[in-house]
Structure 1
Amino acid sequence: MNGTARISDTELEKAMLDLAARCAPGKTFDPTDVARVLAGASPDAWGRIMPPVRRMAVRLAEEGRLVIYRKGKPADPAAFKGVYRLGPPRLD
């Protein structure tokens, strides 16, 4: 898929949850990985979809299907700022 096409919420959700499912226990992934999967390697392409990636990450975190990490610790999806990583919910 190229970076000029609109990425649907369904595509975003699937890509994000697929990457989360592939994470080793205790590991996280960079949200740019999601954007690169959907838009390609060019920063001009994947950079444009980072705002929708963030919105989907917040939605999935609020639903308990994903965890947003900030400085290695779970962050409040409604209040985090800055650089973040994503991971699957822990099954402790």
Structure 2
Amino acid sequence: MTEHEDTKPDPVALKILELLEAGGPDHTVSPDDVARAFAETRRKKSDPPDVWRRYMNAVRQQAIHLARAGRIVILRRGEPQDPHAPIKGLIRLGLPQD
């Protein structure tokens, strides 16, 4: 990081990339998988079992941000989606195919 950069990478975005890179080029993950994995890194004893749900919006926002930057693809029914258009329904996240 240069001295002019004052922003750190978003931890949710890092978790998305970590899970995808660990799985290999054809691996995909659901936003739920990412939210659950991220929640586990921050879980407190007092948290309810479904604490991961509070991270779902952040996961979707970061997925769109990463897709717009070309770092991941958002898939719906196996087809890449335009990250600049509204995306509804069940999606999966994957690495771009070269």
Give the TM interval when normalised to the shorter protein.
0.7 to 0.9
CA distance in 1, matches of 2:52, 2:65: 20
Aligned equivalents of 1:50, 1:70: Cα separation in 2: 17
Tell me the percent identity. Answer: 40
Q: Show the counterpart of 1:53.
A: 59
After TM superposition, the structure 1 stretch with the greater mean CA deviation from structure 2, 20-29 or 63-72, is: 20-29
* Equivalent in the alignment of 2:30: 30
- Using the size of structure 1 for normalisation, the TM-score is 0.80
1:85 aligns with 2:88: no
Could you tell me how far apart the structure 2 residues matched to 1:63 and 1:18 are? Answer: 16
Per-residue deviation, 1:9: 6.1
Which residue of structure 2 lines up, in the alignment, with residue 4 of structure 1? none
Aligned length: 83
Match of 2:13 in 1: 13
- Which segments of 5 or more consecutive residues in structure 2 lack a partner in the other structure? 1-7, 44-48
Moved more, 15-24 or 66-75: 15-24
8 Å contact kept, 2:20–2:27: no
In 2, the alpha carbon distance for the partners of 1:12 and 1:26 equals 21
Note the alpha carbon deviations across 1:34-76, whole angstroms, 9 max, x for none: 1111113922x10011011000000000000010000111011
**Bigger mean CA deviation after superposition, 79-88 or 60-69:** 79-88
Structure (1 or 2) with the larger CA radius of gyration:
2
